[in-house]
A and B are shown apart, each in its own frame.
Chain A
């Protein structure tokens, strides 16, 4: 790809079944050319990439031949069969890159939508590598975030450093940056819509008095609700359709059952149920639900007093009960089998709504898919809940035993928790205020009484009197050391910081040093993130990960040391101060693992520095003169941009016509 041109031997087909004309396909920067081997053949092709809207290709694992299908904006599709999958990949990458260039961010979003994200990133990276001329990252608004990432060389460098160096795997690296990999998030709502809280009663049938017909309207949503609320119906559907009866028949029966129930014609319901066993299923109370409720009852905390008596039965009280259709529901005894009360319906509906829906909107296409989807999700849930049952029983027994024990007679609970020991942050600040309590401890530590202490003072004074002063008072080496320390301190500009607004320490450093420092800082941040996420270490994989991170950190430390030495002496002191937290990470932190994780001083020094670095980095990045210049040039003239064909520009509202005409 470095030459900017790809030529492969292909067979050009107009459809998949077609034998195909053998020939050569050459892909150049903006166009593709197909020349058949037979010069007399009519199927020559020469078109520009900008006319190609989409490209599809066969996957490597499938048994099909490697083919690439390009669709033009006029709807025609051109299929090329390659000799090998490598050829296909090369050409596909090339086409992908070409598309990128043309479509700007919308096209990229499209591509992202259709293809795997990591592949796209690879693509972009390759493209940038091979087109070394100015890569402009225009203003972030409107840019595809992934493009932004790739052009944002820091992240790329990080990626290369860690993933390339084998410290982290791709998956781990991207785990925290999922946002960058996803397409524009406002395209698709992440949330699943919930169920409507209106009960099925809303879907009243249309009763035509004249023709004696009752019409029910069933949409996939209603179907979903029915299946969620009545698992017996769901089971019946899965069993009967399409083996025993057709979809429509099933629903007709169901609706008949519904109608019968609504009409409150118990006798008719019983009669029909006796005739038609499938109808009976719809009329009987739901046995799956009953089982579930029984199970739930068993799992209730045994210490909960669930005894009821006559006074709790409010449904048989006079003047009690809600009117569904204007008449009071009085469940007659004996026929409760075929009756459902409004309360039952409401409770069931509420339970289902609270559970939420496990299937997506786009699975609501027809009843069959809905049924299958719900079945799948139920199976998942049942496998998860199987262990729950056994553990639930154990918990119940445990609960009983706990309830029976008397608190006072119990031994102390020993919690297998590591005691949290947060070290006093003042230890790590330069100024430490010893509180009066501490001084008292120190004072009592001294074995001397006050008389002895005063005696000591007196002794010192008399010693001076008798012996006189030292000659010299201060040794020359000590004096020199002190002088150099003082001048060193004085010459540092650290107390000049903050005097001028807008100036920061990082700005005053030479750019190479600053960039290196910032890079180190973000690498260390990255390492620490992964380090912390892998605690607690529960398996071997995490252990190896942690060791790898530790090694990388020690490498970082030596790099930092080298950086310090390489730098000029007058700024070395400031750099030492800046680097100190980073080095502390290595010094304090790693050698003492794993017991002292909680006790590390890391928390107290590094966050402030990192915030400071980040803030200064933000300052730097928006004010670097090179990016400002680029932005000005872009806004000036579009023609200039087009003429410089190596630029990758992503503008919001990039006018396609404009691209075509130029």
Chain B
């Protein structure tokens, strides 16, 4: 059920939901020229830019941690307007403060589950995407006058294939709501999920080559509101990696079995689909071998 297109207040107003990757395992092992300190500074300046572009611009910052996600900053909330302290502008110090608190919370949650999640180095992208979409839904229901929302994902951690289903669900609901998901991927190898997300929702996926100029990438590509995008040619990736994860083991697969009812993907032959419960007929190979066995017995 598609929502009606929202009536913008003005053409060049944007409501931007930024998802920042704060996965400590990624940032501690990232060998690229970007460390967390530089990354945060680039992002802060970018957020400031967005806010200054128009008085009606709104931004929402959501942090994607290893064990949890949380709203960091919402420019429309009164509680988030604070006066500046020290050298940094108010926005920066506020965001940094909240980030720190979030990191503490994340660590505490991680300590409880010590030993279980050692292997996973991926962040909870599905969680933050869902939170962003919930926020956007709330905005939709708040009234006719709101800017067209979009999501910007600043991700560096690799994809967690166990999150495939949730991420795809989030992507499809974003597609339904006509919310583009942009992505600026600062990790080492391309992220299939985010490529698919941008491709399906009509967003922009950029993997910057020169990470020291990350701010320039953000300002050039992602600062533009949705209406003006129709006049600009934004960079698009050469190809999209459309590989999926199987529903039973969460491994990335190229070839597998697909349920014809609900289109869920499995890597091995199952008798029954775990998603929709439909019973599968015998695979053709098995049927042929059965016939042979029967013939030889008789």
Contacts and interface: CB of A to CB of B under 8 A. Distances in A.
B200 interface: no
Given A446-B29, A457-B24, A460-B36, 4 more contacts: A431-B239, A448-B28, A461-B103, A481-B210
Given A436-B119, A456-B27, A456-B28, A474 B215 contact: yes
Interface string B179-197: 0000000000111100100
A353 B241 CA distance: 57
Contacts of B99: 461
Interface string B88-103: 1000110010011001
A469 interface: yes
Q: Which 4 A-B pairs have the closest CB atoms?
A: A453-B24, A431-B241, A482-B213, A460-B37
A629 interface: no
Interface stretch (B38-46, B50-58, B127-135, B143-151): B38-46
B256 interface: no
Given A454-B107, A461-B100, A473-B215, A489 B235 contact: yes
Interface string A426-441: 0001111111101110
Interface string A442-475: 1111101011111011101111110011100111
B190 A469 contact: no
Interface string B233-256: 111111111010000001110000
Given A443-B29, A443-B121, A490-B235, A434 B158 contact: yes
Given A436-B251, A454-B103, A473-B42, A430 B238 contact: yes
A1 interface: no
A474 B189 contact: no
Contacts of B100: 458, 461-462
A448 B35 CA distance: 15
Contact of B220 (A445, A446, A486): A486
B30 to A, nearest CB: 10
A478 B212 contact: yes
Given A458-B100, A473-B215, A479-B213, A430 B237 contact: yes
A461 B44 CA distance: 12
B107 A465 contact: no
A483 interface: yes
A469 B92 contact: yes
A490 B212 contact: no
A656 interface: no
A494 interface: yes
A485 interface: yes
Interface of B: 22, 24-25, 27-29, 35-38, 40-42, 44-45, 87-88, 92-93, 96, 99-100, 103-104, 106-107, 110-111, 114, 118-122, 158-162, 189-192, 195, 208-210, 212-217, 220-221, 233-241, 243, 250-252
A382 to B, nearest CB: 44
Given A450-B24, A456-B27, A486 B35 contact: no
Contacts of B190: 430-433
Contacts of B159: 433-434
Contacts of B87: 468
A495 interface: yes
Contacts of B36: 456-457, 460-461
A435 B29 contact: no
A468 to B, nearest CB: 5
A433 B238 contact: no
14 contacts: A430-B239, A435-B161, A439-B121, A446-B29, A453-B24, A456-B24, A456-B27, A457-B27, A462-B100, A463-B37, A464-B41, A469-B92, A473-B41, A478-B213
A491 B233 CA distance: 8
A494 B238 contact: yes
Contacts of A490: 233-235
A468 B88 contact: yes
Nearest to B214: A474
A446 B44 CA distance: 28
A516 to B, nearest CB: 24
A499 B40 CA distance: 38
B24 A454 contact: yes
A433 B252 contact: yes
B212 A443 contact: no
A90 B252 CA distance: 70
Given A457-B36, A478-B216, A446 B236 contact: no
B45 A469 contact: yes
Contacts of A469: 41, 44-45, 88, 92
Nearest to A490: B233
A623 B192 CA distance: 39
A433 to B, nearest CB: 4
A474 B252 CA distance: 37
A439 B158 contact: yes
Given A430-B238, A443-B121, A495-B236, A435 B252 contact: yes
Contacts of A495: 236, 238
Contacts of B236: 495
Interface in A470-529: 470, 473-475, 478-479, 481-483, 485-486, 489-491, 494-495
A460 B36 CA distance: 6
Nearest to B93: A465
Contacts of A483: 216, 220
Contact of B251 (A435, A456, A473, A478): A435
A608 B252 CA distance: 23
A443 B119 contact: yes
B235 A433 contact: no
Contact of B189 (A433, A452, A460, A482): A433
A475 B28 contact: no
Contacts of A435: 161, 251-252
A486 B220 CA distance: 9
Contacts of A446: 25, 28-29
A97 to B, nearest CB: 52
A125 to B, nearest CB: 44
A126 to B, nearest CB: 49
B67 to A, nearest CB: 10
Nearest to B66: A450
B118 A451 contact: no
Contacts of B220: 482-483, 486
Contacts of A432: 189-190, 241
A612 to B, nearest CB: 13
Nearest to A456: B28
A443 B241 contact: no
B243 A464 contact: no
Contacts of B210: 478, 481-482, 485
A452 B29 contact: no
Contacts of A448: 28-29
A477 to B, nearest CB: 9
B265 to A, nearest CB: 15
Contacts of B240: 431
B159 to A, nearest CB: 7
A442 to B, nearest CB: 6
Contacts of B121: 439-440, 442-443
A431 B188 CA distance: 10
Most chain A CB within 10 A, of B158, B160, B250, is at: B158
B119 A440 contact: yes
Contacts of B120: 436, 439-440, 443
A457 B208 CA distance: 22
Nearest to B97: A465
Given A460-B37, A482-B208, A443 B25 contact: yes
A486 B251 contact: no
Contacts of A442: 29, 121, 158
B110 A450 contact: yes
Contact of A450 (B107, B192, B216, B250): B107
B24 A429 contact: no
Contacts of B195: 431
A436 B161 contact: yes
A226 B31 CA distance: 82
A434 to B, nearest CB: 4
A435 B244 CA distance: 11
